[in-house]
Amino acid sequence: MGRCFIQLVCGPAGSGKSTYAAAIQQHCLSLGPLRKRNVHVANLDPAAENFGYNLAFDIRDLITVEDVMEELGLGPNGALIYCMEYLLQNMDWLEEELDKFDDDEYLILDCPGQIELYTHAPIIKRVIDQMMTWGHASRMCSVFLVDATFVCDAPKFISGSLLSLSAMIALELPHVNVLSKVDLVDEEKVESILDVESASVLWEREEYNRSVQEDLMVEALKKKSGDEDEAEDDEAKSLVLDKKRIAQRRKKQNRLTEAICTLLDDYSMVSFIPLNIQDEESLDHVLSYVDHTIQYGEDLEVRGADGDDFGGEE
C-alpha cells in the first residue's frame, strides 16, 4: 500500500488550478536527468470538462454534476455539493485509487473551485481527514491559488489574503499560497505589492491616494461653484457636502479594515509566491517551495550522473 506525496490544489473558480497542475506536470518531465520525475494528476472536480494534463484518475468515473442535475433537477452549485457528499459516502473508491501509487510517487489532486466546500460546508476537510487516517498525513500539503488580477490593489490584496487565510484554517494542512496568472498582469505592480509585505502599509497608501483624489474633486467643485449661477452654485455646494459625509463615514468603516491589516501583519499569517507559467524558473521556484513543505526527496536515494567526478586532481 503506497503513501505517495500529495498536493491538493485548491482555490476559487477560474484561479487556474487545472492550468497549474498541467504546467507542473509538464515542467517536471522537462527537468534534467537528476531531477526529472513523473507527476500524476487526478481530477476531484465532478463539474470539470477540459484538462491540459494526463489524468491518473477522475471523480467523473464515480459521479458527475451533469448527471446529478439531470436526474435530481438540482442547479450547478447544489449538484456539485451533492457529488462531493456522494464521494464522502464512497471513500473506498478514492482509497483504492490512492493505493495504486508507490511511496516515492508524486500526485496532484485538482480540487473543485466552490469556496463553500472549504468553509461553511467543509466537505474537502472531511476528505482530507479520511486521507489522514489512511496514512497520508505527513505527505500532504494544500496549494491555494489566487488570481493575480485580484491583488493588484490594496482592497483586493486584503480580500485575497483573507480568502487564503480562511482556507488555511479550514484545511489544517501545511499550506502554500500561490499567486497565479502573473503573466497576464503588470508583473512590476504585483512585485511592488508583494515586496511591501505589509497589508497596513498598502492600505495606508490606498487611503492616501483616495484622499488626494477626493480633495482635488472637492476643490474642483468649489471652483465651479464660483463660476456658475446661483442654482448651479447650490448644486455644487451640495455635492461638496455629500463628498465630505461619504469621506467621514468611510473613515469610521475603515477601522475594521485597519484592524484586519494589523492582524495580518502582526502574525505574518499570509504570504504569496508569484507564478508565471511561461517562466521555467518561476515554476521551479514554486515546485521547490512545495517540495520543501511536504519534504519531498529528503528520504529518497541520492542519484548521481554518469561521469561525475568528486575527487579529481588539482
Average pLDDT (248-267) is 83
Q: Which cell goes with 45?
A: 472536480
The pLDDT tens digits of the residues spanning 210-225 come to: 766 766 666 666 666 5
Please say if the pLDDT value at position 231 is more than 80.
no
Average pLDDT (74-98) is 95
The pLDDT tens digits of the residues spanning 134-191 come to: 999 989 999 999 998 877 778 888 888 999 999 999 999 999 999 999 988 887 777 7
The pLDDT tens digits of the residues spanning 9-62 come to: 999 988 999 999 999 999 998 887 777 888 999 999 999 988 889 999 999 999
The pLDDT tens digits of the residues spanning 49-60 come to: 888 899 999 999
In whole numbers, what is the pLDDT of the chain averaged over residues? 84
How far apart are the C-alpha atoms of 175 and 180, rounded to whole Å?
A: 15
- Cα–Cα distances (Å) from 53 to 24, 109, 160, 178, in that order, read 9, 12, 27, 19
Q: 193 vs 81, which has greater pLDDT?
A: 81
Task: Answer for the pair 203, 261: CB distance below 8 angstroms, yes or no.
Answer: yes
Who's near 71: CB < 8 A, 6+ residues apart? none
Report the pLDDT value the prediction gives residue 301, as an integer from 0 to 100: 56
Task: Answer for the pair 179, 191: CB distance below 8 angstroms, yes or no.
Answer: no
Who's near 240: CB < 8 A, 6+ residues apart? 218, 221, 222, 225
- Cα–Cα distances (Å) from 63 to 41, 44, 206, 214, in that order, read 18, 10, 46, 54
Report the pLDDT value the prediction gives residue 312, as an integer from 0 to 100: 43
Grid-cell match 487556474, residue found:
16
pLDDT band of 232, cuts 50, 70, 90:
low
| Three-class DSSP category at 20 | helix
Report the pLDDT value the prediction gives residue 37, as an integer from 0 to 100: 86
Please say if the pLDDT value at position 244 is more than 50.
yes
* Alpha-helical segments (H) within 172-198: 187-196
Length reported for the chain: 314
Instruction: Give the bridge partners for 41, in sequence order.
Output: 55, 108
How far apart are the C-alpha atoms of 99 and 119, rounded to whole Å?
A: 28
Average pLDDT (188-203) is 79
Within 10 A of 61 (CB to CB), how many other CB atoms are there? 11
Q: Which of 108, 127, 101 is nearest to 4 (CA)?
A: 101
Q: Which cell goes with 76?
A: 450547478
What are the backbone dihedrals phi and psi of residue 308, each rounded to the nearest 5 degrees, phi first?
A: -60, 140
Q: 151 vs 283, which has greater pLDDT?
A: 283
